[in-house]
Amino acid sequence: MKHRAIALALGLAFNVGTEAASLSMKLVGRHHTGIYNEGAAEIVTYDADTRRLFKVNAKAAMVEVLDIKNPAAPKPVGTIDSTALGGSANSVAVRKGLVAVAIEAANKQEPGLVAFYQAADLSLVGTVKVGALPDMVTFTPDGNYVLVANEGEPNADYTVDPEGSVSIIDLRRGVKKAVVRTADFSAYDGREDELRAQGIRIFGPNASASRDLEPEYITTVDSRHAWVALQEANALALIDIRNARVLELQPLGSKDHTTPDNALDASDKDGGVNIANWPVKGLYMPDSISSFGYRGDTFIVTANEGDSRDYDGYSEEARIKDLTLDPVAFPDAATLQTDAALGRLKTTLASGDTDGDGDFDQIYSFGARSFSIRNARGGLVYDSGADFENTTAARFPDNFNSNHEENDTLDNRSDDKGPEPEGIALGEIQGHTYAFVGLERMGGIMVYDVTNPYQVSFVDYFNPRDFTVDTLLADGTTNRAAGDLGPEGLTFIPADKSPNRKPLLVVGNEVSGTTSIYRLIFTPDK
């Protein structure tokens, strides 16, 4: 079998779309915690009324508040301590001075809370009970509802597995009289085989739809419908917000890495950059998702990170060299399973044995190393293909697919999920809609113009990381000279809500513990 390598020599074309040099990013401010690789800056959100940032500090199990009246000098002004109400804060959202914080229970398999605070004085307004492990919280655009993705992960032994769900908090009568309704997946129990046939992954010990469908992230455009990422299941759920009901499940399918536009580097033992075609299908498995409207239709934008079920009591993870491959489907299995080929690539034991005979007829990898745009029914409209790896290889050939903890780690993440796109934010600037995608491992932000979802163009890649210095100082704190490591949460601030009347992008970086503020500079097309 021939595998067509993607040329990386300087001057050759890359599959990165048509460059539209209309936007640049300038780092204007950064807040340092000094806390290294402990999640000290994860999810970030902004309140225009107080001109404050609210960011989740998982290390401290709290939300930290930064005053950014001067974006060049973010100033800590307070904290919201979630431990008094349960366990760690996982997510935060704000709208018109009201802050919502998703807080897991001390026992993560038990119901959690959403706590509401005043943005101005950080006083507690009230709390409501939600599902197990509330992992993401967001307001609907009209402010009438707060939506909560209750992931419902099992415990380490996989002996307790709560149901995943979406809590819908009705705020029309205020926080004190809030009503919570639950959209769950119990209606799909007993239909697991039907869902699997559609490509929705339901697997693991005592698997059922209501337990295996684990909401990760939520987006909504019209305040009537929401789309929910079901990462491990490789699907989206469409939710009727007002009636708290799951309307449909949308399987996301897989990405064919045998096609030229979808090449990938599959090994950390192949001597460096080797972006090539392989007989592998990538499961999209998005983490962050967002949405926007175009000509009356809704489009969902996904950061295709990939994730597995990997617990002490059950794990689907394996390396391809440890599989028994079907000899008809893979006549060159011995070659494919070497470390320099596909042997090191992480795969799943839960998918691929299509005829049930014990060997694998198809190989799947976690994530698609890309971002995608889908229509309201889940149909794929656009995918960035191999752009992320091609671009990072061209810009940083000596640090390609590095991890986010150390420098001098060339090719380290190729056998996992490559650059690992995780966070995503959309922003409109002078009639253009831009997608900002954070690459968790390599670092940096990919920017695309998605104004017309059918004619997407690559804009640029910005990476403030310095690969030439140590990331960690002798005292265990982050080396500031290393820049930002591990972008997690992104939020866009439009010019009309910005403290300096300029559009901004804020990024929480979980490894460096930094919160970075970029000015977005738009240049009209000539």
pLDDT the model gives residue 84 = 86
- Do the domain assignments include residue 29? yes
> Each residue's pLDDT tens digit in the chain (526 positions)?
333 333 332 222 223 334 444 899 999 999 999 999 999 999 999 999 999 999 999 999 999 999 999 999 999 999 999 888 989 999 999 999 999 999 999 999 999 999 999 999 999 999 999 999 999 999 999 999 999 999 999 999 999 999 999 999 999 999 999 999 999 999 999 999 999 999 999 999 999 999 999 999 999 999 999 999 999 999 999 999 999 999 999 999 999 999 999 999 999 999 999 999 999 999 999 999 999 999 999 999 999 999 999 999 999 999 999 999 999 999 999 999 999 999 999 999 999 999 999 999 999 999 999 999 999 999 999 999 999 999 999 999 999 999 999 999 999 999 999 999 999 999 999 999 999 999 999 999 999 999 999 999 999 999 999 999 999 999 999 999 999 999 999 999 999 999 999 999 999 999 999 999 999 999 887 6
* Digit-coded pLDDT (tens) for 474-495: 999 999 999 999 999 999 999 9
* Under 8 Å between Cβ of 290 and 426: yes
pLDDT of residue 10: 25
Alpha-carbon torsion, ordered 240, 243, 245, 249, to 10 deg: -20
Going from the C-alpha of 462 to that of each of 25, 27, 432, 493, the distances in angstroms are 7, 10, 19, 18
Widest CA span in the chain: 67
pLDDT of residue 324: 98
In a domain? residue 264: yes
Contacts of 195 (CB under 8 A, 6+ apart): 188, 202, 209, 249
User: E strand or H helix at 365, and its extent?
Assistant: strand 364-366
Q: Alpha helices, DSSP H only, in 162-255? A: 192-198, 209-212
In a domain, 4, yes or no: no
**Is the Cβ–Cβ distance between 523 and 41 less than 8 Å?**
no
Domain membership flag for residue 460: yes
Whether 72 is covered by a domain: the verdict is yes
**How many domains does the chain divide into?**
1
Q: Quote the domain boundaries for residue 116.
A: 23-522
Phi/psi for 391 (5° steps) reads -70, -45
**pLDDT tens-digit series, residues 212-223:** 999 999 999 999
Residues 6+ apart with CB under 8 A from 17: 384, 387, 448, 456, 457, 458
User: Taking the model in full, what pTM does it have?
Assistant: 0.95
| Domain harbouring 228, CATH code | 2.130.10.10
Secondary element (H or E) of residue 473? none
* pLDDT value for 526: 64
Residue 10 is assigned to a structural domain of this protein: no
Could you tell me if residue 11 is inside a domain? no
Instruction: Answer yes or no: is 8 within a domain.
Output: no
